[in-house]
Chain A
């Protein structure tokens, strides 16, 4: 059973601050890691993916991956109220019978207050 763990939150930060969202996963063979954003009542939307150890930056978002620690994080710089959403961490199984499947964490709810 592949486990993807996230703090459910809620995480509350002021506008302009850095929001830090964390995720751990149990399958050491996992190769691909994704962050989805889900606004209340809407469907998930992919915002970042990372495949290699280290940092990957895209605008205000930075994904960080540490495969040795089985840890992936998402940093949101200069947080805005429009970033208030639930952030889902997801991991793929890249081998065997479950190739291509995504395993989701339960999500962290982020609130950015003005």
Chain B
């Protein structure tokens, strides 16, 4: 099993460009999450999907959209990238009844110039 996979691993965007970060999990988990991690700020939740067909905002949703394409896949879209969105993005998944036991993907390092 690959666990949680993310693509791409690295990306450089210019301000105003758009892109989609892809995430897939093969653990048959119901819940999936997108986080960003910035130096000194810890992990902050952008959006999450408690189950297929549902999505909810986290702490820092502005500037992002998500799609839970099916049970396996959860994508994060930046419609108009800004330098403030330079960060490392992690996707994670979990299974109830232990939503806190999350499994993380390898991350995407995004730079917006």
Contacts and interface: CB of A to CB of B under 8 A. Distances in A.
Nearest to A6: B42
A44 B104 contact: yes
A62 to B, nearest CB: 18
B43 A46 contact: no
* Interface size classification for chain B: 20 to 34
Most buried by A among B94, B101, B106: B101
Contact of B104 (A33, A43, A101): A43
Interface string B81-98: 000000000100010101
B99 A100 contact: yes
Interface string A1-32: 00000001000000000000000000000001
A100 B31 contact: yes
A106 B40 contact: yes
Contact of A46 (B41, B42, B103): B103
Contact of B42 (A43, A91, A100, A106): A106
Interface in A50-107: 88, 90-92, 99-102, 104-107
Contacts of A90: 100
B1 to A, nearest CB: 16
